[in-house]
Amino acid sequence: MMKLSKKNAARQSAIHRAIASGKTLGGLLVGLTAATVVGGCKEASPSRTQGSYPRSQQQANATNEDTEEFVTGGAIAEPEPEPTQVKPNAVRERQDKEIVLGGKPLPPSAPPLPQDQYRVKGGDTLTKIAKTHGTTVAELKRLNGFDDVRANKLIAGEIIKVPQSKTNAVREVQGKDFLLRGEPLAPPSQSNAVNEDRSKTPSVKGKFPSKK
Amino acid sequence: MTLELTAKCNFRCPYCYCVWHEYPALAKPELDAAGWMTVLDKCAADGVDDILFTGGEALLRHDLFDILGYARRVLPKARLSLFTNAGRLDETLIKKFKRRKIHLATSLQGLQTYGAMTGTRRSYKRLLAVVARASELKWPIAVSMTVTKANIHEAADMFVAAALSGASTIQVGPVILAGRAAACQELMISHDEWEEVKQRIRALPDAHVPYTFCDEFICFCRSDTPKALLEKWGDKNHKPCPAGKDFGVIGPNGLYRTCLHSLPKEV
């Protein structure tokens, strides 16, 4: 178990006791507020409670320092219902919904792949991939362990196994990858043939099976 | 930008929204450290200033600190955060994260229901102790809570426990229909129940912790969601997933998605 200071250990014990006894923990918060007020501890300023999210570490620390006064003498203050001194927790609610933000989305990246792998592109089907790689649909299903349902659920960008390239066509599809690795491009004639072939393949977009 | 460093996880939360539970191919093969460093280079080049590292459970990566160290070098001014289930988080790690200025976030899945909600035999006590210790070390942890049918009765208590333990911020939301939750819809609470939870938390005495509610039950980034489910869960929140705006996710295999719950372009 994590070693805690006496204050926090007492606080944790109070939480565990309340849970074990089936009590709600809201009373501990009343105790916290009451202890804070009775002890004359400075309450959090509005700027601390209503700043923009995510707040800075300094603010976080400041708030925690406020709550250090929760336990006095190692004992949890008993709940003292004092409605006039207790602020509803609603004042702490933040209106902005995004917890982690910032930065521009990156474009999809395509790291170079070995020749026995293939990154699925929009409009691809197993039949088409098999044809491009000079193999059969059954072989692709066997290599990737696909059943019939999974074979119809190709996702653009996923990487599937293919037999070692029997034609040079795969190089055309991933030409940029090969360029990055300094390897020669496929001859233009074959590249065009592949592109022409792809253009004839009807897109299956919109026929993606619904999730069950 | 969120980087899902791994799909591996030591918890088995039944409502986990990670999309590879539906489409395992999205998780493999996982990028190695060099791959993530390339991604971080791109982030730096594109001016990303806020990165969340998550998973799966990112702490299961043996090269995590290589990646985080590199991130800090190439993005010296960015806000870097790590979301962890805290199962492996201890004082030593908290200090390491503090030295590198990596902010921490975790999730409190329940109190008495913690074991059931994480699919483990663990207790909430350790998690709260970790949160409390981090607070003592002046590196407090943000806590998120997912409200389910199983833990809704103790949702307010979870909030209080997190607040009393020294959480820096608290985020509360219902189960989102994605990942494992897509096959476990009985854990999803209704809109009315969610409103009740919000009221209960709002009505609590001041917890001295900033908090936020995430109202989304369903991600409209997903075009594969059946219409019936959209109508059932989306009728009161007809708005795009907030994550889809100024946001992006790189999955374990390096694929880009618009949000945590969405898929790459379907074919």
Q: Residues in chain A, how many?
A: 212
Q: Do B266 and A205 touch (CB under 8 A)?
A: yes
Give CA–CA dist B98/B140, Å, rounded: 10
Reported as a single tens digit per residue, the pLDDT across B176-201 is 888 888 777 888 888 889 889 988 88
pLDDT of residue B221: 67
Question: Per-residue pLDDT averaged across B126-140, rounded?
Answer: 93
Which of these, B96, B83, B22, lies nearest to B53 by C-alpha position? Answer: B83
Beta-strand relationship, B211-213 and A93-94? parallel
Q: Do A61 and B138 touch (CB under 8 A)?
A: yes
Mutation for testing the A interface, residue in B130, B206, B215, B220 having most A CBs under 10 Å: B206
The ipTM estimated for the assembled molecules is 0.81
Cis-peptide, bond into residue A105, ω within 30° of zero: no
E strands present in chain A: 71-72, 75-76, 93-94, 117-119, 159-161
The confidence band for A30, taking pLDDT boundaries of 50, 70 and 90, is: low
Which of these, A52, A108, A55, A102, lies nearest to B245 by C-alpha position? Answer: A102
Q: List, edge to edge, every strand of the sheet that includes B79-83.
A: A93-94, B211-213, B170-174, B142-147, B102-107, B79-83, B50-54, B2-4, B249-250, B256-257
Percent of all residues in chain B with a pLDDT value above 90, rounded to a whole number:
42
Q: Do B49 and A102 touch (CB under 8 A)?
A: yes
Residues from chain B contacting residue A57 (CB–CB below 8 Å): 103, 138-140, 168
Q: Could you count the other beta carbons within 10 Å of the beta carbon of residue B104?
A: 23
Select the residue of A4, A121, A125 nearest B129 (Cβ to Cβ). A4
Select the residue of B52, B132, B169 nearest A12 (Cβ to Cβ). B132
Percent of all residues in chain A with a pLDDT value above 90, rounded to a whole number:
0
How many CA atoms lie less than 13 Å away from B132 in the CB half-sphere?
26
Q: Do B126 and A2 touch (CB under 8 A)?
A: yes
Taking CA–CA distances from B111, the nearest residue in chain A reads A19
Residues from chain A contacting residue B255 (CB–CB below 8 Å): 108, 157-158
Q: Which residue has the tokens 């336990």?
A: A71
Q: B143, B131 in Cβ contact below 8 A?
A: yes
Residues from chain B contacting residue A101 (CB–CB below 8 Å): 50, 246-247
Both tokens of B137, joined, read: 């070390």
Give CA–CA dist B265/B267, Å, rounded: 7
Reported as a single tens digit per residue, the pLDDT across A175-196 is 332 222 223 333 333 333 333 3
> Which amino acid belongs to residue B249?
V
Give CA–CA dist B234/B244, Å, rounded: 16
pLDDT of residue B204: 83
Mutation for testing the A interface, residue in B208, B219, B260 having most A CBs under 10 Å: B208
pLDDT of residue B15: 86
Minimal C-alpha gap between A7 and chain B (Å): 10
Reported as a single tens digit per residue, the pLDDT across B26-48 is 888 899 999 999 999 999 998 88
Which of these, B6, B83, B3, B62, lies nearest to B38 by C-alpha position? Answer: B3
Residues from chain B contacting residue A82 (CB–CB below 8 Å): none
The confidence band for A146, taking pLDDT boundaries of 50, 70 and 90, is: confident
DSSP secondary structure code for residue A100 in this structure? S
Select the residue of B204, B211, B223 nearest A26 (Cβ to Cβ). B204
Angle ∠(A157,A162,A164) on CA atoms, nearest 5 = 130
Q: What are the CA-CA distances from residue B247 to residues A99, A155, B19, B220 (Å)?
A: 11, 21, 17, 14
Which of these, B94, B95, B46, B51, lies nearest to B72 by C-alpha position? Answer: B51
Question: Per-residue pLDDT averaged across B50-74, rounded?
Answer: 92
Q: Is the pTM of this model over 0.80?
A: no
pLDDT of residue B40: 94
| 3-state DSSP helix/strand/coil % of chain B, to nearest 5 | 40, 15, 45
Average pLDDT, chain B: 85
The confidence band for A212, taking pLDDT boundaries of 50, 70 and 90, is: very low
Residue B128 has pLDDT above 70, yes or no: yes
Percent of all residues in chain B with a pLDDT value above 70, rounded to a whole number:
89
Residues from chain A contacting residue B126 (CB–CB below 8 Å): 1-2
Residue A20 has pLDDT above 60, yes or no: yes
Q: Do A210 and B168 touch (CB under 8 A)?
A: no
Q: Which residue has the tokens 């999309």?
A: B19
Give CA–CA dist A192/A157, Å, rounded: 22
More confident residue, B264 or A189: B264
Mutation for testing the B interface, residue in A11, A17, A29 having most B CBs under 10 Å: A29
Residue A160 has pLDDT above 80, yes or no: yes
Which of these, A191, A133, A124, lies nearest to A163 by C-alpha position? Answer: A133
Minimal C-alpha gap between B108 and chain A (Å): 14
